Structure 1
Amino acid sequence: MFDDLRRRFVDLAQLRLGSEVVYATDDFFADKARLISPAEPVFVPGKYDENGKWMDGWESRRKRVPGHDWCVVRLGVPGVVAGFEIDTRHFTGNYPPGAELEACVSDDMVPAEDAAWTRLTSRLELKGDDRVYVPIEHDQPVTHVRLHIFPDGGVARLRVWGRVAKDWSQVGVDEVVDLLAMANGGRGVIANDEHFGRVENLTAPGRGADMGDGWETRRRREPGHDWAVLELGAFGRIEEAVVDTAHFKGNYPDRCFLQATARAHGTPEEMAAQSEAWPMLLPEAKLSADQIHAFRDLAQIGPVRFVRLNIIPDGGVSRLRLMGRVIR
Structure 2
Amino acid sequence: MHAFIELCDLAAARVGGRAVAANDEFFASKENLLRPGRGVFIPGKFTSRGKWMDGWETRRRRTPGNDWCVVQLGMPGVVRGVDVDTNHFIGNFPERCSLEGLHRPGRPSVAALVGPRAEWTPLLPPSKLQGGSQNLFPIESDRPWTHVRLSIYPDGGVARLRVHGEVSVDVATLARSKRLVDLAAVQRGGLVLGASDMHFGAKDNLIMPGRAANMGDGWETRRRRGPGHDWLVLRLGALGLIQRIEIDTNHFKGNYPESASLEGCRTGMTSLEALAGEAAGWQEVLPRTRLGPHKRHFFGGEIRARGPFSHVRFKIFPDGGVSRLRIHGRVDSPE
Where do 1:68-107 residues align within 5 Å?
68-106=66-104, 107=106
Q: SS where residue 122 of structure 1 aligns?
A: strand
Q: Would the alpha carbon gap of residues 84 and 73 (structure 1) be closer, same or farther in structure 2, given more than 3 Å must change?
A: same
Number of residue pairs aligned between Structure 1 and Structure 2: 326
8 Å CA contact retained: 1:256, 1:285: yes
Identify the match of residue 200 of structure 2 among 196, 200, 212: 196
SS at match of 1:212: helix
**Alignment partner of 2:243: what SS?**
strand
Give the superposition deviation at 1:216. Answer: 0.4
SS of equivalent residue, structure 1 residue 202: helix
Write the letter of the residue equivalent to 2:81.
Answer: G
Asked if 1:249 corresponds to 2:239, the answer is no
Task: Tell me which residue corresponds to 1:27.
Answer: 25
**Corresponding residue to 1:324 among 318, 325, 329:** 329
Is 1:146 the counterpart of 2:149? The answer is yes
Q: 8 Å contact 2:191–2:236 — kept in the other structure?
A: yes
1:298 corresponds to which letter in structure 2? I
Counterpart of 1:308? 313
Match among 121, 125, 142 for residue 122 of structure 1: 125
State the identity as a percent.
Answer: 49
Give, in whole Å, the separation in 1 of the partners of 2:33 and 2:239: 34
Partner of 1:38: 36
**CA separation of 1:135/1:6 partners in 2, compared to 1, >3 Å: closer, same or farther?**
closer
Aligned to 2:169: 166
Give unmatched runs, 5+ long, in structure 2.
none
Deviation at 1:128, TM superposition (A): 1.2
**1:258 touches 1:283 (CA, 8 Å); kept in 2?**
yes
SS of residue in 1 equivalent to 2:277: helix
Q: C-alpha distance in 2, partners of 1:276/1:202?
A: 22
Measure, in 2, the Cα distance between the counterparts of 1:310 and 1:207.
20
Could you tell me how far 1:299 is from its partner in structure 2? Answer: 1.7
**How much does 1:46 deviate?**
0.8
Measure, in 2, the Cα distance between the counterparts of 1:98 and 1:291: 48
Q: Which of 283, 286, 295 does residue 291 from structure 1 map onto?
A: 295
Question: Contact 1:204–1:319 at 8 Å: present in 2 too?
Answer: yes
Partners in 2 of 1:269 and 1:21 — Cα distance? 38
Query: Whole-Å Cα distance in 1 between the matches of residues 287 and 32 of structure 2?
Result: 44
- Find the residue that maps to 2:215 and give its secondary structure: coil
Q: Tell me the CA shift for residue 271 of structure 1.
A: 2.3
Could you tell me how far 1:74 is from its partner in structure 2?
0.3
Tell me if the contact between 2:4 and 2:138 (Cα under 8 Å) persists in the aligned partners. Answer: no
Q: Which amino acid counterpart does residue 167 of structure 2 have in structure 1?
A: V
1:53 & 1:235 partners in 2: Cα distance?
Answer: 50
Quote the offset at 1:40 in angstroms.
2.1
The amino acid that maps onto 2:218 is G
How far the C-alpha of 1:270 sits from its partner, in A, is 3.2
Contact 1:22/1:109, CA 8 A, preserved across alignment: no
Residue 270 of structure 2 corresponds to 266
Shift of 1:144: 0.2
Match of 2:45 in 1: 47
Q: What's the CA shift string for 1:285-312, capped at 9, x where partnerless?
A: 1100011111112123520011111000
Partner of 1:60: 58
Superposed CA offset, 1:262-295 (max 9, x none): 1152332332234785111111111000111111
Q: Which moved more, 1:108-117 or 1:244-253?
A: 108-117
- Does residue 185 of the first structure (1) align with residue 189 of the second (2)? yes
> CA shift at 1:66, angstroms?
1.9
Structure 1 pair 199–264 and aligned structure 2 pair: CA distance change class (3 A): farther
The answer as to whether partners of 1:244 and 1:318 remain within 8 angstroms in 2 is: yes
CA contact (8 A) 1:35 1:156 kept: yes
Note if 1:10 corresponds to 2:14: no
| Aligned equivalent of 1:240 | 244
CA shift digits 1:217-258 (9 cap, x unpaired): 011101001111111100000011110101100000010000
Deviation, structure 1 residue 18: 0.5
What is the RMSD computed on CA atoms of the aligned residues? 1.5
Separation in 1, partners of 2:5, 2:139: 16
CA contact (8 A) 2:283 2:305 kept: no
